[in-house]
Structure 1
């Protein structure tokens, strides 16, 4: 028993059509048809929002379709594990290299080409995919963003939702040229890597998605010893005449203050609190 079987069975029991399910799941009828004919594998439950909609529409227990889809995917993965890794599509590799820092591009290209889909290429591709997927998933329920992108790409709203859902369900072994055109190219401005530490810095296109540059590091570091709460801060918090009006946010700010040598007094924290509240100490955005 798999996802297509259960969906078909419930549609028949309830006297419903594929187009009714597509409308409820907010996808195209073609997408539902490909799922039911097994031309498309069911997406992973943590990368899509359609299973909750299908459960509700087909009157199934909450989470039923998600559990079934994950079981089906595990069985299919077991059958694929023996296959050798295939290199990325040429278009995908070229796009990733084009986005790389120009000063490091040829060096990275040489590493990529030495071993098709080797460790470095998988690391870079997976990290870029994770960042772009996170941005796309954040916008999945943003109707304005979906309709805007759909209009720009000449797609319907439902078609655009399908494109996003399919992208969220892809992985580094199946990323396609279409994924690059629709997401990696417009969302990624550039990326750079420190080949000594494998630290990755990814800059997003601010005109499409908000956010700062993302930095990922893969180097062993000594963990910092835990920092205890300053005695002066403890006394400040225990004295209602000094801290009685402090909000949770203000207290959290005071807790983040660090001192190397001198130990602050309760009065210091009281004055810091007043400084924090004084509008003259801050510029208006």
Structure 2
């Protein structure tokens, strides 16, 4: 009987040990996710506001639970409301909405799944705001990424002057039909800020047979984190591996520059490629208008 009792005690303690370790691992994983979600959100916020906050003719407003940006253009690519807290108030949202509506400016609203609670959904419904698109918030721990060599890297050039920046802008603009002239105007207005080396922004262009066909922006929010934005390839040149080559070049650059985290908002079409290189899905960003 004593043996059986001892075995029962050992089994009970073993069960407690397993439960404790599972709970501990789950708590650590949840904590890690919370930290990464903040890193992703901070990079998104800084990317949206950093240049407009210092550029003539542009404005950035930071309320307690949301921020909004006026690019000086009627363009919903750069005029955004970003809700970064689920307890955003009706007064805050009204202030942001009225700003764009009274100034007759196109805009869009971004919110991640953690902030898209019933309170926010109710506010959206009351203003007839509807979901238009979504992207996946992803991150890669660069210590787990092994740099890749590719002879096609010789086709990639960094933007160093205003002429090349205009080429970069033209690639992005051509993702609309007809090409979005507001994109070109935005980069014309912000040229000095993008070319300022103190900002740490890297703009890359891929040339195919001498033609600029793909681009990406590397935007640092601090010494550890860099975000990839404006990742675009002209439709005619998709499916040729150009985007993948540009992505690995950008990842190599980020790692060489000493960054620890690479983040991006990816469309569903690109998820498999991003996950192939180690990116993990942390959240979803929703676009409303």
Relative to the length of structure 1, the TM-score reads 0.25
> Higher helix fraction: Structure 1 or Structure 2?
1
Higher relative contact order (CA 8 A, sep 6+): 2
